[in-house]
Amino acid sequence: ILNSVSLGCEESKKIKQDIYDYDLTQYCMLVLRQDHSRLRGGWAIAAQLAEILSHCCVGLEVREDPEEFYKKFLPSAIDNLLFLGRRLQARFIRAIKDAEKRDFLRWFQTVTDAICWLFGGHVQLAACVLQNDHFLQLLITDDVDTAITMMSVLHNILRVNSSVLLQIQEETLHSVLDELVYKLSSTTNPVIGNAATKLLLLVAKSCKQLVKLLTTRYKGLKGLLNKQWTGKGFDRALNQLLDALYLEQSNGKGEVQRQHQAACIIQALWRGFQTRKRLKKLPQAVTTLQRSFRAKREKELQHLKKQKEDEALKLQMQLQRQRAMRLFHEQQLALLEIIHASQVNKYMEEMEGKSAVTIQRFWRGYRARRNFHQQRQSLKEYKAAVIIQRAACKFLEKRRRRRLLSPWKDPKGMTDEQRLALQQKVDDYIKLHPASQMSEERSKELHMHAQEKLAQFLWRSRLDQRAVQRREALLAQVNTDVELLMNAPGLAEATEKDLDVFMSRSIPVATRARQSHNTMLKYTRWPWWKKLEDEFMEDDVIPDDALNAELGTLFIDGRK
């Protein structure tokens, strides 16, 4: 139907309009996405559909919703045609037989011709073709035949719209130029070299900005063209490209030299300013440097002095230990010489018992101090929580009392009419709900019962108040004892004034404490073999048969 009429006539436009109105172009565009190897007719039908789609879209005047046609339908058609071209290119590369290769190459060229025909009729599609990822994948190939075809497509794009390279993204432009330069450097085929050279010449003629980009981005391009492609049959286009590159380089050199001189002047002025500024700050900098150097040297001297003192102290402690050990051994030998042979074993047992008692005493003291330090932080946290809770309770109680003692707000005054209306309502309610009569004896009985309940409540509240006061007094006493214990000095530093603080004023309590203390001292003087059972008991438990006193509270009284 399309071939039966001449292009550009009214009948041809009417046929294309009918095809578009019946959504046949939309159908052709969607079919291009399918795998035609499984369809009847194969890839030849796909190539014919691509040609029909391109011919129907060129010269078509869309009257209803033209924005959708130009901004959605045409870019989608370009994308599907390029996708079909990628499939044909891949199958052409994988084909083994010559007949298959020729067929796939012919179909691929038909699809590329359809693309060229489409963006030739719609110039705005040239940028869409260049920015499409399928176009870059088609261009980046090592196959000679398809590469030549794609470079011819790029050549047609530049002929149709010479400024299209300035409209696309910089990354896409760099990718296209990189591929052209790569083809010049990686192959020796004169056909590819001729096509790539003509494309670069067309790029250079289209805009001076692109010539500058070629000279700055590809600095070895002129040497590559001179050495590898001179005398290959396209010297005219090659010489024109080299002249454009050399001209831009000479202009660039003059500009670079001028910029270099300007940069030198700016650097000289800036260095002079920095030098004058540094000379002004030089005395202060020298003072700061001297101060920091002296502080560092003083710190090093102090560190060395402290290190020497530590070493001297360690050596002195080691000598003292050696002397004490030597003196102890000498005393042992002297006592062994004095003591009779039959008393040696008894003496050794007594010495072992004393040694065991000393070791146990030091170990228990260390353990008690460690437990005390571990519990000190938790005790502080507990006291802080109690203080916070007490303050919060006081605040809530104060606020509750303030609410109870809030001044009474008198109601707003009533008018005579409102008073009469309210009195009428009260009378009506009394008539509807008459009050029940109660005898005098029943009233007296209820009064006596209420008086008894009130007396019981007052008596209980008085008892609860006394119990609360007693608990608060006991808690204050416990907190005072805890603070005294935490702030108490050691036994070696305690004085008589410190002892008076821990003495009880109650005679029975003091007597009980004295008995407990004497029992504890007696227990500590036992021989070591009697205390072997302590190893199998808990750390803080003393057997009841050894101690018949309560040791929950510490009391100190009397003298040793």
Q: What proportion of the chain, given as a percentage, has pLDDT over 90?
A: 15
Confidence of residue 408 (pLDDT cuts 50, 70, 90): low
- 224 pLDDT more than 60: yes
pLDDT at 299 (0 to 100): 93
**Which pLDDT tens digit goes with each residue over 441-497?**
888 888 899 999 999 999 999 999 999 998 998 888 888 878 877 877 777 777 777
**Which pLDDT tens digit goes with each residue over 166-211?**
888 888 888 888 888 888 888 888 888 888 888 888 888 877 778 7
**Which pLDDT tens digit goes with each residue over 13-42?**
777 777 777 777 788 888 888 777 777 768
**Which pLDDT tens digit goes with each residue over 34-61?**
777 777 768 888 888 888 888 888 877 7
Give the pLDDT mean for 56-76: 79
Give the pLDDT mean for 304-329: 92
- Listing DSSP states for 471-521 in one string gives HHHHHHHHHHHHHHHHTPPPTTT--HHHHHHH--S-HHHHHHHHHHHHHHH
**Which pLDDT tens digit goes with each residue over 520-545?**
888 888 887 776 655 444 444 444 44
pLDDT at 205 (0 to 100): 82
For every residue of 304-370, which 3-state class applies, written as one string?
A: HHHHHHHHHHHHHHHHHHHHHHHHHHHHHHHHHHHCCHHHHHHHHHHHHHHHHHHHHHHHHHHHHHH
Residue 72 DSSP label: I
The residue among 68 and 385 whose pLDDT is bigger is 385
- Listing DSSP states for 105-148 in one string gives HHHHHHHHHHHHHHHHH-TTHHHHHHH-HHHHHHHS---HHHHH
Confidence of residue 95 (pLDDT cuts 50, 70, 90): confident
The rounded distance, in Å, linking the Cα atoms of 537 and 543 is 9
What are the residues whose beta carbons fall under 8 Å from the beta carbon of 341, sequence distance 6 or more? none
pLDDT at 559 (0 to 100): 36
Q: What is the mean pLDDT of the chain?
A: 81
pLDDT at 552 (0 to 100): 39
Confidence of residue 407 (pLDDT cuts 50, 70, 90): low
Q: How far apart are the first and last CA of the chain?
A: 132
pLDDT at 33 (0 to 100): 81
**Which pLDDT tens digit goes with each residue over 234-290?**
778 888 888 877 877 666 555 667 788 888 899 999 999 998 888 888 888 888 889
Confidence of residue 410 (pLDDT cuts 50, 70, 90): low
Give the pLDDT mean for 297-322: 93
Domains and CATH numbers, the chain: 10-251 (1.25.10)
The rounded distance, in Å, linking the Cα atoms of 43 and 32 is 10
Confidence of residue 122 (pLDDT cuts 50, 70, 90): confident
The rounded distance, in Å, linking the Cα atoms of 535 and 531 is 8
- 109 pLDDT more than 60: yes
Instruction: Please state, in angstroms and as integers, the Cα–Cα distance from residue 446 to each residue in 458, 460, 496, following that order.
Output: 18, 21, 67
pTM above 0.85, yes or no: no
The rounded distance, in Å, linking the Cα atoms of 550 and 558 is 18
pLDDT at 282 (0 to 100): 82
pLDDT at 1 (0 to 100): 73
